[in-house]
Amino acid sequence: MSAIAVVVARAGSSRVPRKALRTFAGTTLVGWAVERLLDSEAFREVYVGSDGDEILAEAERHGAIAIKRDDYHCDETRCSANEMIGDMMDRLSDVSLSETVCWAHPTNPLVLPSTYARAVEVFESDETDADSLVSVGPVQRHAWFRGRPLNHDPRSPRHQLAGELEPIQFQDGAIFIQTRMAMAQNCYFHGTTPLLFEIDSTEGFDVDTEADLRMAAFLLAEREAACHSR
C-alpha cells in the first residue's frame, strides 16, 4: 500500500462539545473513523492529529498513530484552514512526499470502508489531468442562486421534474486526496484540477450538530438492518 490517511480532531469543538469523543456505534466518532479507514485496507497507516490527549489516546487504542498538535493550529478563530493543513503536512515527517494522502474527517461516520478504498484506487489510476480528488454528493433539486434559477427554466413549456434535472455536485467534506507534496505546497484540501468523486449522499452525511449525531446513528442502524434483511 502506498497511501496513508489523515484525520484531525480538535478538543475544543463548540457546537457539539467533545464531538470526536462522542459515542457512536458502540465506540467514539474518532475511534469509528480510524476503524473504517483501517478496514478499507487502502492505507498502510492512519494518522490522527489533535491537541487533546484523550482524543489521541482513543485514536491509538484503535490502531492510529497519534500526532500532538499545538493550540494555535487547533483554534479555528485564529488559525486558517490553510495554516492548519500546512502544519499537519509538516508533522508527517516519516511520510514520503510522493505518497498518497487521504484527508478524512471523523464527522462523516457513514463512509463505507470500500468507498475509501475505491477513492484511493480511482485517484492513483486516474489518467486525466486531475491533481487531487474530492468527494461530492449529487443533488437533483430546483436550485436558485442570487435570485436566478440555476439548473432549470421555470418558463419552459413543460415543467421539469426534479429527477430530470442535471445534478448539482456539492462538496461533502468526507474525502480529499492528494500527494503529500501537493497538499504541503498548496496547503489546501485539493488542488486546482480536482477529480470529483461522487458518493451517496447518505455516506457523505456530516455531523455538525447534536441532531446530526442522532440522525447519523439512525441512518447507520437503517443501513445495517437493510443489509441483514437481504
Q: What integer best gives the mean pLDDT of the chain?
A: 95
Query: Which tens digit of pLDDT belongs to each residue from 146-186?
Result: 999 999 999 999 999 999 999 999 999 999 999 999 999 99
The per-residue pLDDT for 1 is: 54
For position 230, what pLDDT does the model report? 74
Q: Which amino acid is at 109?
A: P
All domains of the chain in start order, with CATH: 3-228 (3.90.550.10)
Please name which of 101, 91, 96, 25 lies closest in space to residue 56, comparing C-alpha atoms: 91
* CB 54, CB 83: distance < 8 Å: no
pLDDT of residue 136 exceeding 70, the answer is yes
Instruction: Please determine, for residue 48, whether its predicted confidence score (pLDDT) is greater than 90.
Output: yes
pLDDT at 228 over 90: no
Threshold 0.85, pTM exceeds = yes
Residue 202 clears pLDDT 90, i.e. is over it: yes
Q: For the chain, how far is it from start to end, CA to CA, in angstroms?
A: 33
